[in-house]
Amino acid sequence: SQQGEEDPQALSIQEGENATMNCSYKTSINNLQWYRQNSGRGLVHLILIRSNEREKHSGRLRVTLDTSKKSSSLLITASRAADTASYFCATDGGSEKLVFGKGTKLTVNP
């Protein structure tokens, strides 16, 4: 079964609002990553957070990690129409085997 599960499955917001997506996973990890996929394209790496980190920022992205709850969240602030995409979390399960969740489809309405 898949390691990560994103929540919600779909999210629709207005431009300028913040978008929050959550990821839960099952086993211990070395790190957790978030990826973005535009329709019909391959995935693009956004940000990585290590198991000993609690929060990380990159531009308008903020990622948190709670290893005790085996969960992570991705916050996109001041969203733009161009942020419309699917977002996936990925975990390593303690190895190099990168396992993805089912993704959150984000729609940002202009």
Partner 1 sequence: DAGITQSPRHKVTETGTPVTLRCHQTENHRYMYWYRQDPGHGLRLIHYSYGVKDTDKGEVSDGYSVSRSKTEDFLLTLESATSSQTSVYFCAISINSGTGEAFFGQGTRLTVV
- Binding residues (CB under 8 A) for partner 1: these are 1-2, 6, 30-31, 33, 35, 40-45, 48, 50, 88, 90, 92, 96-103
Between 17 and 50, whose beta carbon lies closer to partner 1? 50
In whole angstroms, the minimum distance from the beta carbon of 76 to partner 1 comes to 19
Token pair belonging to 21: 């997506």
Q: Is 10 helix (H, G, I), strand (E, B) or coil?
A: strand
Residue 54 Cβ, how far from partner 1 at the closest point, in Å?
17
C-beta of residue 71 within 8 angstroms of C-beta of residue 24? yes
- Other beta carbons less than 10 A from residue 99's beta carbon: 18
